Structure 1
Amino acid sequence: MKPRLSVILALLAVSVAVRLIPYVLAQFGMTVEPGNTVYPWNFSPFLPLCLFGGAMFARARMAYLVPFAAWLLGDLGVWALTGRADWAFYAHQPVIYLSVALVAFIGFSLRRGRSWKRVAGAGLGSSLAFFVFSNFGVWAFGGGAIYPLNFAGLVECYVMAIPYLRNTLVSMAVFLPVLFSRVALTKPTAVPGYRLASSRT
């Protein structure tokens, strides 16, 4: 089985669009700050695609480069829509990229077998890993402006991020079955063999 390029490109486009939708809505007066809106932050096919890429992309480096490029495109889109460079290039951004890479790395474990139990386990594990690492970055590099730089502040950061973890888990439950199904996968087409016709004189 190999990935169907059209489906992967479509979901990547949706991933970028989902990141930009709240900032587009902000142009019409909607509040875009995650704590002050009902927008379903972190509900996106992006992390499921990272996991899928680690499992299915023939070239390992593409499992990292494709999501990095998509995330960077989203960041640049946020900057273009808001004019806020600090929203596109933020202090904990390297931690986010490392968290994305970790999800892709977990996907490599599915190269040895892709039963539904293994896919579900990888989805759960990568969701938790992204939650732990990304929110640690928010706390550690926030300068104490949002959460105090002590243990209580770290706990508060994780507690406040639980709704985003929920949305990530829902994303995994929705998009992983699609990605590891015949919707996104196709059997390689066999190349027919030809024999040279014998020459006649």
Structure 2
Amino acid sequence: MLLAALIVLAALTRVLPHPPNFSPVAAIALFGGAYFANRSWALIVPLAGLFISDLVLASMHGGLYATWFSGAHIWVVYGLIALTTLMGFGLRGRVGGGRVLGYSLAGAVLFFVVSNFAAWLGNPMYPQTLAGLMASYVAGIPFFQWSVAGTLFYSAILFGGFSLLRARLPALRLQTV
């Protein structure tokens, strides 16, 4: 039930009006990596939410969305979400506020650095020079602030909410999801 709820949450929050890049997908990836007993499900849940919302966004926006997220860049995005899940494996058994904050920030920075590098490589708008690379990073800054805010917000809700549930439900104390 929780797995389905997280997939729906990820898909809905990307489709409903929101600031750009303010999404729970990275937080769900970290949470899944930290808590899902089955590591395969930890990878599948955020990727499924991302995929479902991509399908909905593509149908809503047609060619514009499909063109913007076509090619290698989309594989970079999916790869980064999978990598964020793998980062979450490092939180297993060691979840705490400081660690969740650090991993959330590290995931957001990694996403920014790698996805903007990929945009520079794959977008003819940016010249293949150091100046073009810097331009791609500068263009990404407005989105980065929302990515960090979204990851921190949803990480606080997921990890904090689960911690509160564990305190109230003894069955959750000894096991992961």
Q: Could you say which TM-score interval applies, normalised by the shorter chain?
A: 0.7 to 0.9
Residue in 2 aligned with 1:115?
Answer: 96
Residue in 2 aligned with 1:189?
Answer: 171
Structure 1 or 2: more helix by fraction: 2
Question: How many residues align structurally?
Answer: 167
Q: Structure 1 88/160 Cα, relative in aligned 2: closer, same or farther at 3 Å? A: closer
Query: Following TM superposition, by how much is the alpha carbon of 1:114 offset from its aligned partner in structure 2, in angstroms?
Result: 0.9
Q: Which entry has the higher C-alpha Rg, 1 or 2?
A: 1
Equivalent of residue 176 in structure 1, options 150, 155, 175: 155
- Hey, which bits of structure 1, 4+ residues long, moved more than 2 A? 8-15, 17-22, 85-91, 181-190
- The superposition leaves residues 18-51 of structure 1 with CA deviations (integer Å, 9 ceiling, x where unpaired) of 32236xxxxxxxxxxxxxxxx6111111111111
Equivalent of residue 165 in structure 1, options 144, 154, 170: 144
Residue in 1 aligned with 2:175?
Answer: none
Matched, 1:130 2:111: yes
TM-score, length-scaled by structure 2: 0.83
TM-score, length-scaled by structure 1: 0.74
RMSD: 2.2
Matched, 1:21 2:6: no
Query: Following TM superposition, by how much is the alpha carbon of 1:70 offset from its aligned partner in structure 2, in angstroms?
Result: 1.4
Describe how 1:25-174 pairs up with structure 2 within 5 A. 40-84=19-63, 85-87=66-68, 89-142=70-123, 144=124, 146-174=125-153
Which ranges of structure 2 fall in alignment gaps of 5 or more residues?
173-177
Query: Following TM superposition, by how much is the alpha carbon of 1:82 offset from its aligned partner in structure 2, in angstroms?
Result: 2.4
CA distance in 2, matches of 1:83, 1:175: 28
Which ranges of structure 1 fall in alignment gaps of 5 or more residues?
23-38, 191-201
- The superposition leaves residues 84-136 of structure 1 with CA deviations (integer Å, 9 ceiling, x where unpaired) of 24345344111111111111111111103011111111111111111111111
CA distance in 1, matches of 2:9, 2:171: 28
Contact 1:43 1:168 in 2 (8 A): yes
